[in-house]
Structure 1
Amino acid sequence: MREYRDVGVEVPGGTLAVRRWPGTPGAGTVLAVHGITGNGLSWAGVAEALDGVEVLAPDLRGRGRSGDVKGESSMAVHADDLLAVLDHFGVGRAVLAGHSMGGFVGCVAAHRDPGRYRHLVLVDGGLGFPVPADMDIDQVLHAVIGPAMAKLDMEFADRAAYHAFWAGHPAFAELGGEAVRAYLDRDLVGEEPHLRSACRAAAIRQDAEDELRNPEVFAAIHRLRVPAELLWAERGLRDEPVGLYPPEVVEAAALTTVSTRFVPGVNHYSILLGTAGAATVAERVRAALVAGA
């Protein structure tokens, strides 16, 4: 296992928790952004596969150990927080990688500040899709992410109960190991038998409104001024046979400045949390580091 440290970075509203895996001089830095109800430890498998590369994986405000950071939440706010992370660690330019909602954060960040990012790797995220305008955002979230939204209203007697909750999720059926358990544990706050998710519901809802209904966020992927690649998973958020981005959706998007790569045999979660998925993501991130050197 690689050496790591948890570091606090000051941002408006509080202290952002960042997991840092240090690298060797000259190997480059990856700034890795998690999904809407995740945390920075979702990138642990990728970090292990990128031995020698500095990896910075923040818990976004309202999640994980950044759950108490105050203020509004949006893709633009997260983009500002990412700049604070780079500045804190003295990183001039990094490869930016984002999973799921983290892909939308990445697109907004790279569009706004292209001088700070050498390359953008989108992992099953960043490409917008329409949702019904008359649907309440909670309805949308329950329909799209299901259990990841339901957990916000639940309590768990102990960590084992929380692990069991996710073990019953169809997309997690083949996932396990210490890294996944650590990722799940980082989402818990409180004391037994009243453990709950660290995710702040208001931040989740604000981000979902921005991610799913803001035309500027939708447009960011088409306005990128840095090299970018979209990795899209074969299967969906609940391990459905068709992924979040069906082939016809990727084709219809007509991405002229973003290359695309189909990743077979993985779902929306295992593309990052699974061994094979993490290896693929790490390989593309390493290629981005080399291309941007």
Structure 2
Amino acid sequence: MRDYEDIGVRVPGGRLAVRRWPGAPGAAVVVGVHGIASNGLAWAEVAEALGDGIELIAPDLRGRGLSRDVAGTGSMARHADDLLEVLEHLGIGQAVLAGHSMGGFVGCVAAHRDPRRWTELVLVDGGLGFPLPPDTDIDAVLHAVIGPAMAKLDMEFADRAAYHSFWAANPAFAELGGPLVAAYLDRDLTGAEPHLRSACRAEAIRQDAEDEFRSPEVFAAIHELTVPTRLLWAERGLRDEPVGLYAPEVIAASGLAAEGVALHFVPGVNHYSVLLGASGARIVAGHLTDAVRRTPTRG
């Protein structure tokens, strides 16, 4: 396994926890942004697939993982600002930006706001959104879309094994396992046995969901990018449904191809395994490797 370090970056409201897989001297940098109820270790399998020729930096977004206690209202713009704080802290001028699920929306907003800091944007099953009717209940949408990721917020777990079993019951995790997935799940726990709970703060998730699902600026960001962008979309869904988060007809009707976004279908994976599984991570790593070829190296 690759060497790594955990660092803290001062942001408004506290210290953001960041997992860093250092690269060889002069290596290009990728910043990976996780989904709405996830944490930075979602990128661990990708880090392994990249190898030490590329540095990978993956923060726990505020309100999640080891950044659970970072205060302040959440939004895609707030997370985008936090990413800039990470770059400044580490002395990084430019990087490739990658986002999975909600992280894709963060990536679109970040690249739209600060195109000179991000040399390319790689979206992994996220970033393309559609507005909800004004009277839609956000909690109902979250339970319908991300299901177990919302259910876990109201649950306690006697030990880590119980939490692992909870996720193993999701068909999307049927082929996922090993120490990297276990570490990812463990980072999403807080408290002590037998009263372990998810480290995700419910209010942080709701605030981000309001922005992700209702903000016209967030919806528009993917259509207004000047940074080279590619979207990888998984064949299957969040519960391993045969149709993924983005159905083929949705991708076709999005207008993204005409706007210059490169579209890549990823067969044989679902919304989770495209990042957490070995085969999906290799595909994502291949796209990131291609993207960093256009990224200036650090001397």
TM-score class normalised by the smaller sequence: over 0.9
Deviation at 1:198, TM superposition (A): 0.4
Cα separation, 2, equivalents of 1:181 and 1:154: 19
Deviation at 1:292, TM superposition (A): 3.5
Residue 268 of structure 1 corresponds to: 271
Cα separation, 2, equivalents of 1:224 and 1:237: 27
Cα separation, 2, equivalents of 1:55 and 1:90: 14
Q: Is 1:39 matched up with 2:42?
A: no
Residue 7 of structure 2 corresponds to: 7
Residue 170 of structure 2 corresponds to: 169
- Structure 1's unaligned 5+ residue stretches are none
Normalised TM-score (structure 2): 0.97
The residue identity in structure 2 corresponding to 1:170 is P
Q: Is the 8 A contact 1:14 1:68 kept in 2?
A: yes
Q: Is the 8 A contact 2:107 2:127 kept in 1?
A: yes
Cα separation, 1, equivalents of 2:132 and 2:3: 42
How many residues are paired up? 293
Cα separation, 2, equivalents of 1:247 and 1:215: 23
The residue identity in structure 1 corresponding to 2:293 is V
Q: Residue 293 of structure 2 aligns to a residue in which SS?
A: helix
Q: RMSD in angstroms over aligned alpha carbons?
A: 0.8
Q: Is 1:68 matched up with 2:74?
A: no
Q: Is 1:106 matched up with 2:107?
A: yes
Percent of residue pairs identical: 73
1:196-246: CA deviations, max 9, x gaps?
A: 000011110000010011010000001111101000000011110000000
1:243-269: CA deviations, max 9, x gaps?
A: 000011011111112110000000000
Cα separation, 2, equivalents of 1:73 and 1:128: 18
Cα separation, 1, equivalents of 2:267 and 2:143: 26
Q: Is the 8 A contact 1:224 1:257 kept in 2?
A: no
Task: Choose from 278, 285, 290 the match for 2:293.
Answer: 290
Q: Is the 8 A contact 1:235 1:265 kept in 2?
A: yes
Q: Is 1:125 matched up with 2:131?
A: no
Q: Is the 8 A contact 2:131 2:216 kept in 1?
A: no
Cα separation, 1, equivalents of 2:115 and 2:25: 23
Cα separation, 1, equivalents of 2:216 and 2:238: 24
Q: Is the 8 A contact 1:222 1:257 kept in 2?
A: no
Q: Is 1:235 matched up with 2:236?
A: yes
Q: Residue 245 of structure 1 aligns to a residue in which SS?
A: coil
Q: Is the 8 A contact 2:28 2:295 kept in 1?
A: no
Q: Residue 35 of structure 2 aligns to a residue in which SS?
A: coil
Q: Is the 8 A contact 2:237 2:245 kept in 1?
A: yes
Cα separation, 2, equivalents of 1:216 and 1:129: 11
Q: Is 1:16 matched up with 2:19?
A: no
Residue 188 of structure 1 corresponds to: 189
Normalised TM-score (structure 1): 0.99
Q: Is the 8 A contact 1:118 1:292 kept in 2?
A: yes
Cα separation, 2, equivalents of 1:238 and 1:212: 20
Compare 96-105 and 124-133 and name the one that shifted more: 124-133
Deviation at 1:132, TM superposition (A): 3.8
Deviation at 1:4, TM superposition (A): 0.3
The residue identity in structure 1 corresponding to 2:12 is P
After superposition, residues 48-67 of structure 1 pair within 5 angstroms as 48-52=48-52, 53-67=54-68
Residue 283 of structure 2 corresponds to: 280
Cα separation, 1, equivalents of 2:30 and 2:216: 28
Deviation at 1:131, TM superposition (A): 3.1
Deviation at 1:170, TM superposition (A): 1.1
Q: Residue 115 of structure 1 aligns to a residue in which SS?
A: coil
Deviation at 1:129, TM superposition (A): 2.4
Residue 205 of structure 2 corresponds to: 204
The residue identity in structure 1 corresponding to 2:186 is D
Cα separation, 2, equivalents of 1:131 and 1:167: 31
Cα separation, 1, equivalents of 2:244 and 2:88: 36
Cα separation, 2, equivalents of 1:31 and 1:13: 21
1:28-70: CA deviations, max 9, x gaps?
A: 0000000000000000000111112111100000000000000
